Structure formats: structure tokens, C-alpha cells
Amino acid sequence: MDTTAPLPRQRARVLLALALAGSTTLAGLSGPASAARPDLVTVVVSGAGGVAEAVRAAGGTVLDALPLVGGVIAHLPRGARLGPALRVVPDRPMSVAGTTAPSGPASTVRATLGLGAPAGEGSGQTIAVVDTGVADVPDLAGRLTHVDVTQDGTGDGYGHGTFVAGLVAGDGSSSGGEYAGVAPGASVLDVRVAHDDGSSSLVLVLKGLQAVAAHPEVDVLNLSLSSGSPLPWQLDPLTQALDALWRRGVTVVVPAGNDGDRGAGSISSPGVDPTLITVGGLDEHGTAARGDDTIAPWSSQGPAPQGVDKPDLAAPGAHLVSLRAPGSVVDVAHPTSEVGTDYFVGSGTSFSTAVTSGSVAALLARRPQLRPDRVKALLTGTAYDAPALATGGLDLRAALTANARGDDGRGGDQGNDRGERAPGSRKAWQAFVDALIAGDHAAAASSWADLGPAARNWAASSWAALTPEARNWAASSWAAGTGWTDDGIDWAARNWAARNWAARNWADSDWSARNWSARNWAARNWSDGTWTARNWSARNWSSDDWSARNWSARNWSASTWSAYWG
């Protein structure tokens, strides 16, 4: 059935956002939600303030406010120029990415996670499923709330969101509990961001995330969609919105993607964001025994752009059985995938993501005081190893039974945003900071490499935000947890991050056509074996909608970036 997209690494480059400091020209930009008038384009504008006024001054129209990213959705005239403090990103298609998975034995997902029969896991938690919609089916009865930003009405004309919601929180009532989801006691906020043919866009998804922000009861957000954005996560309004929700206490889970055939470095946005939980796909080969588990060949591999260590973990994603949306595009197109009258079989990292989101809800039901960083540390720290696994497999039982201190159950510290110690040795961190303060960039780079993946990812999370408030938080939190000086941390965040990782991390090898090529949107992602191109509507992926001329190479050309990378 469905799979999703790739993932990312290190946040020491937070000031990358400054790469667009300079007026942005909109010549040639367009997107799937472009205005009816050919002289207008639909964009997301964000910046330091006065965004709406700047849009109007340029002859544009503000369509919606996006407080999550400090911006607006707008129509702007082609060729309009905005000030140097504003960032303009055109609307673009977003998708549920599919894969062709060979037939095989059905997943033993709950047993693989260490769970028994459904026991109301996730009770009291609310999971936002931002997707194609969720059908009103018996396994979700009484626990489903609908929000629609498409203006098409509620329901799931495509069939993807219903399948995801079943893995997250279905109670298995139509199968005597056999096909229950991971958190059958949780509630689902269905945020529909796609039309009946499955088509969606950046603007629709951002509106959906803004709707999630209006529901403070949401504890977990499942986004089994992919944008494939070529923008670095520091600049992409999608990842910025997801980071904002994370900082508000919502644990965000996203897929690694289904481009495993491309090999290493195939993870894409929003999975590239170092803060979020990015999930790869496991094939259990029909058994609950973990020793034979493998990473599914279609699951995207890390590292993500900028060297971010992704995925964070892997979860069952092959041959999963979950809820069908009767009469939906997927249901009609694949009748042989039906299981009984109420269920369906599917594969992909979209569904590994859903399994993980349900696990987060189950964990939070047991330990509601956990913040997103601690949730991530627990899940990754208790993941199990298997001979063929490149990353740990999700072990929910281990996470649920880890000691009450909230660590990984093995006595190790994990850093988070509560002022706790960073992972890694104090000596290694001190060497890193000493090198930064001394201005010894070579020594800083060497020390950075010596810190190890856990420490680098912690630093990435700590330096994630681009706002002055977040930088101040990073300095005070780091200093409080380690005794280091504010001056050293501030120097690191402001002066070292952007300049010294510039050429190496944004060289052609890391920012090449493979990250923004037609291969990322190829028909192989919509092959007939599961989700076909015709079901997702070829017009959404045509050269007319996503061509170089529409994204306009000159707007993201070397001239735009080179000034900032020296």
C-alpha cells in the first residue's frame, strides 16, 4: 500500500535560514494551489514581522494566517519582490508515497512491539492524523473527530488516512481484536488535507497543522505524507511548523520514505528534520521473533541531507492489515488487497509511522509527563537490535517498562529541553566548546565528529529554532545543564554554525539533483502493485506542476546561496 518519504541530521547550522536574507523574486514560481489568475502565484511568506503588510504592499492578497511559522498564505503577482527579512516559498504538491511490496505473510505488529491482546492502550491520548481523511468505521466509533481544510467535506475518498488511523488507534471490534491498532484506547483527530483523488499541497498541509495547533488536547501528530522539498529543513515552512508543534509539546512522527532502492542518502522532507521522529520500515517476515527482522528494501536509507542521522528507528511496515475505506480510490483499485469486509493489506513507511505514533500514545498514557524529546529518547534508547537491522527496531514493551527516571532503561542519560545533560562525555563536549571559543574551526569540526550521533542529534535539536527566543533558550538550557558559559554557546550558535559547515554540507554532493530530481517523483513510487499513478492523478506530478521553470532555478540559484556560504 502506501509508503512515505526520507529524513535528516544536524542542527548546528541553524542560521542557514539567513541564506534567504535578500529580496526574493517570484518570477516563474507556481504550485498546485496557484491562483486562477495566471499573473498570481500561491506562496507561503514568513519572516521577522510585518509579513501581511509586505504582501499587500507588493500588490498581493493575504489568504490565511500561519502563526506557527510566523507567516501567511498569500497570492503574489509574478515578479513581486519582498524585503530581505522575508522568506517566500511557493506552494507545491504533497503526497502519500507508495511502494510495491511483494506478497508475504501478514505482519505480527502488536506481538513484535511486545504487546498482547488489545488492552485499551493509549487511553486518554489524542492523536492527530493529518492525511487524506478518515472514514467513519466501527473500529473508530466514538473516538473520531473530523476537521476538514479542503472544503470537500469529511470522509476519506482516497483511503490512505483511514488505513493509517486504524494502525494508530483501531480497536479491532470488526475482527474480534485480531486487527487492532497499537493504541485502541486513544482518540483520533482526523485532519483532512487531501482531495478525493489524494492530491494535496504544502498550503493545505500547513493549514491542517495550524488546525492541530487549535486543539490543545492533541498529544501526538502523525504525518504520513511527503513533500520531497529541496529546501533545507531550516528554511522549509513545513518542517518549521512541525518543529513549532514539537516545542508546544506535541510529539511529531514522520516517515523515512520508500526510496530505498536509491541507497544511502535517500531520506527526504519532512523526515530530514533532526528534531522529529523519523521512522523506517521493518519486514517481520510473518513472525514475532525479532532475530529475522530486516529493513524492507523499499525503506529509505540515511543519512539525510546535512549528514543528519536518520531514520531514528524502524517499525513494522510490511504487509500490515488495517482499516479500509469502502468505495475509496484505493479500495476500488485493489480489491485483491481486501481482508474480510472491513480491512486491507498495505506496506510502506507511512504505516511504520502510524505504528510508531500509536506507540507514542501508549507510552504517554502510561507516562503523561513526558515531553517530546524524552519520548524520542525512550523509543530510540530501548529499540532492539537484530543482525540485519541498520537501525533499532521499535520495542514498545521495553519503553513502557523502562525505569521511572525516564531514561532508556539502561541507565544512560539523554539530553532534552528541560536543562538535562547532553548525551556524550563532558570531556568531548568541553573540547568542542573550547575549540569554538578559540575560533579553531578545524578542531571544532574534529571534536564535533568525535561526539557521536546521539550527541550531534541532541545539539541539532537544541539549535533547531531560528528565532532569537529559541537561541536564548538554547544558551540558557545548555549552560544550566552543563555549567558552560553563555558566551561560548552563543558564539557557537551564531558564528560557527552557518559559516563552518557551509561548503562541506551544501556541496554539490549533498545538494545535487538526486535530492531534487525527477527520480524522487518518478512513477516507480506510484507503481501498479499498490498505489498507482492514475489513482494519485498524473496531473499532480506532471512537468507542468513541478518543473524547473515553475520552481525557477534562478530563484534558488548559486547566486542566492553563495553569498552565505563563502
- Residues with catalytic annotation? 131, 160, 350
Q: What are phi and psi of 127, to 5 degrees?
A: -115, 125
User: Collapsing DSSP states into helix, strand and coil, what is residue 561?
Assistant: helix
Closest-CA residue to 260 (of 202, 332, 311, 309): 311
H/E element, 321: strand 320-323
The answer to whether residues 353 and 224 touch, using CB atoms and an 8 Å cutoff, is yes
Strands 187-192 and 144-148: parallel
Angle between helices 202-213 and 237-247 (to 10 degrees): 10
Q: Edge-to-edge strands of the sheet including 320-323?
A: 320-323, 343-346, 338-339
Cβ count within 10 A of residue 564: 18
Q: Cell 493509517 appears where?
A: 164
Q: Whole-angstrom Cα distance, residue 74 to residue 88? A: 10
Q: Tally the C-alpha atoms within 13 A of residue 271's C-alpha that lie toward its C-beta.
A: 39
The answer to whether residues 357 and 220 touch, using CB atoms and an 8 Å cutoff, is yes
Q: What are phi and psi of 483, to 5 degrees?
A: 85, 5
Side chain identity, residue 547: S
The answer to whether residues 348 and 414 touch, using CB atoms and an 8 Å cutoff, is no
C-alpha cell recorded at residue 106:
501478514
Q: Whole-angstrom Cα distance, residue 218 to residue 221? A: 7
Strands 277-283 and 313-316: parallel
What Cα–Cα distance (Å) separates residue 227 from each residue in 185, 316, 516, 559? Answer: 31, 23, 11, 25
ω into 311 cis (within 30 of 0): yes
Within 16-67, strands assigned E span 40-47, 61-66
Strands 40-47 and 86-90: antiparallel
Q: Whole-angstrom Cα distance, residue 24 to residue 39? A: 17
Q: Tally the C-alpha atoms within 13 A of residue 392's C-alpha that lie toward its C-beta.
A: 21
